[in-house]
């Protein structure tokens, strides 16, 4: 069945992202901070409407925020009954004769056969992470166009087949603790501020290298103290702990 940008399920109104990505705001204002985003094809339940803003709950991680109604005004005749995520890399899709650039993690409509073009082939999780190198840091971002530290680990975990919550401190509660020295490639490392709160997370490429979003997605040195900047060698993040979320690392 072809759907527009809106679905109705058990009386709940479900909105479907049909842009490359849609910012999710903390408050119903364009000046409010962006706390997350919806990728193409992801869905959100409408909780309420305030003037031209919708309060929504993202269905993939239950994160809540506000999105302007205008993002959903254009209807696309698409079969949205597919939950297949694009994990192969940066791609583009043509729908209704219009091109859309898609970030990894986007959901693909089931009637898109023959219209999807893969620009980046991904063979393993390291390839998946490397495609984000130099992506600019964006608070609340989850896409290859702009991403934050926990957005990066969330889409990485999705590639590995694990659903992680949105924020770093929430992700730190998932998986098994690992002592420094026993870390393996693919483990997540968490970092704390001076108050001991988890504020940063990254992905270990090996025992001494970490890829993470800080200013941009970059690779730095991983030590028992934390992250050491690759160029100036300053300690930028203080280690709080290491977690193993994947059984195949």
Q: Which residues are catalytic?
A: 149, 200, 212
Print burial letters for 108-132: b (CB count within 10 Å at least 16), e (below 16).
bbeebeeebeeeeebeebeebbebb
DSSP conformational letter for 149: H
DSSP-assigned letters across all residues of 78-90:
B-----EE--SSS
Helix count (H) and strand count (E) of the chain? 3, 21
In 3D space, the residue among 103, 67, 62 whose CA is nearest the CA of residue 85 turns out to be: 103
Centroid of chain to Cα 88: 15
Q: Judging by beta carbons within 10 Å of its beta carbon (0-12, 13-18, 19+), is residue 1 exposed, middle or buried? A: exposed
Question: Whole-angstrom Cα distance, residue 230 to residue 222?
Answer: 10
Question: Whole-angstrom Cα distance, residue 208 to residue 228?
Answer: 10
Q: What are phi and psi of 129, to 5 degrees?
A: -70, -40
């Amino acid at each position: 069945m072809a759907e527009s940008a809106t679905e109705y399920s058990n009386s709940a109104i479900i909105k479907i992202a049909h842009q490359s990505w849609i910012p999710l705001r903390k408050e119903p204002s364009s000046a409010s901070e962006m706390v997350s985003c919806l990728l193409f094809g992801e869905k959100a339940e409408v909780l309420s409407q305030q003037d031209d803003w919708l309060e929504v709950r993202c269905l993939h991680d239950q994160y809540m925020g506000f999105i302007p109604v205008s993002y959903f005004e254009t209807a696309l005749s698409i079969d949205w009954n597919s939950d297949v995520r694009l994990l192969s890399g940066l791609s583009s899709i043509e729908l209704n004769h219009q091109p859309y650039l898609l970030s990894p993690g986007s959901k693909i409509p089931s009637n898109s056969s023959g219209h999807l073009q893969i620009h980046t082939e991904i063979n393993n999780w390291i390839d998946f992470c490397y495609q984000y190198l130099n992506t600019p840091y964006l608070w609340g971002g989850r896409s290859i166009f702009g991403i934050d530290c926990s957005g990066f680990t969330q889409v990485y975990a999705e590639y590995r087949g694990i659903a992680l919550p949105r924020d770093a401190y929430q992700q730190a509660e998932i998986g098994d603790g690992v002592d420094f020295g026993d870390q393996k490639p693919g483990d997540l490392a968490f970092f704390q501020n001076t108050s001991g709160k988890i504020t940063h997370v990254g992905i270990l490429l090996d025992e001494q290298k970490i890829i993470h979003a800080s200013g941009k997605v970059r690779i730095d040195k991983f030590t028992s103290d934390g992250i050491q900047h690759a160029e100036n060698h300053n300690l930028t993040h203080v280690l709080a702990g290491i977690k193993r979320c994947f059984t195949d690392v």
